[in-house]
Amino acid sequence: MSILFHKGDKVIVQGITGNEGRYHTPRMIQSGTLVVGGVTPGKGGQQLDDLPVFDTVREAREQTGAAVSCIFVPPLGAADAIMEAAAAGIELVVCITEGIPVNDMTRVAAFLKEHPTRLIGPNCPGVATPGAGKIGIMPYHIMQEGHVGFISRSGTLTYEVVALLTEAGLGQSSIIGIGGDPIIGTTFIDCLRLFAQDPQTAVVVLCGEIGGSDEEDAAAYAATMTKPVVSFISGRTAPPGKRMGHAGAIISGKTGTAQGKVDALLAAGVPVAETIFDIPELTRRALKQ
């Protein structure tokens, strides 16, 4: 098993005819992902690399049976793309787009409360299931099938740590990049709940960063889990009030500090790696326990 994305899930790509869609769609297919079409308003009826292009998500879903969408729509149109997918009945939406206005994501968050769609992102690298494929922009060749669940707010950190795990012979069950914006669709706790129920996952690696309280909330939930969790927090030297990379990675007052997150995780019994190079050994110890 795995979480969120499974082999054979039918995927459409919103924004398939744009530069990002054109570049990443073939790479998703090469990883094993079953991409069945794409959506670009006004270009319905065209073909792109033998894939049909539709004007609307509803049309694409009805004609292909897709239940998953990957969004490469530019920032000012991405929120509407997410809501269009949800309104069409898409079950899983993975939004890669960076730079969506917070006001737009506020509307999306309210809209999704009325729909059963799960959103991953925005501003995320996507999701992947080694042996089944990927949705998004992660480098698939660094992955290996196994029993380590992985969650991160950072795309680059995802690539670096997953590569280290694979090099150490620690394969992954599912890899989730939840995104680094202030408003995202799926949190650390959401992923921990899914991993807790996944029979293939034996241990979870959680990589957080400064800003917000998601890691502290995850620590409280991890304390209730029977499966072990290993963690890492980036941005320990970030100065207060200065955004570091992600829109959500900012220390405000006494909240969102790296030390506060580390303390919460340690108090919950979750080991925290000093550097990413310590993660494989901590993971190996957790598996032995």
Active site residues: 246
What digits encode the pLDDT tens for the residues 122-170? 999 999 999 999 999 999 999 999 999 999 999 999 999 999 999 999 9
Task: Name the one residue in this structure whose structure tokens are 């394969």.
Answer: 171
Domain ranges of the chain: 10-120, 143-288
Assign 3-class secondary structure to 64-79: HCCCEEEECCCHHHHH
Q: What average pLDDT does the segment 37-45 reach?
A: 97
Find the mean pLDDT for residues 211-224: 91
End-to-end CA distance of the chain: give it in Å, rounded.
22
DSSP for 94-137, written as a single string: EE------HHHHHHHHHHHTTS--EEE-SS--EEEETTTEEEES
The reported pTM is 0.93
How many Cα atoms within 13 Å fall on the side-chain side of residue 273? Answer: 24
Residue 194 predicted with pLDDT over 50:
yes
Each residue of 81-120: pLDDT tens digit? 999 999 999 999 999 999 999 999 999 999 999 999 999 9
Length of the chain: 289
pLDDT tens digits, 14-27: 999 999 999 999 99
- Lowest mean pLDDT: which of 39-48, 66-75, 114-123, 253-262? 253-262
SS3 of residue 246 by DSSP: coil
pLDDT, tens digit (0-9, with 9 covering 90-100), for 224-271: 999 999 999 986 655 665 555 554 444 555 557 888 899 999 999 999
For the domain made up of 143-288, give the CATH fold: Rossmann fold (3.40.50)
pLDDT of residue 208: 93
Fold identical between 10-120 and 143-288? yes
Task: Please name the CATH architecture into which domain 10-120 falls.
Answer: 3-Layer(aba) Sandwich (3.40)
Report whether pLDDT(33) > 60.
yes
Evaluate if residue 285 carries a pLDDT over 50.
Answer: yes
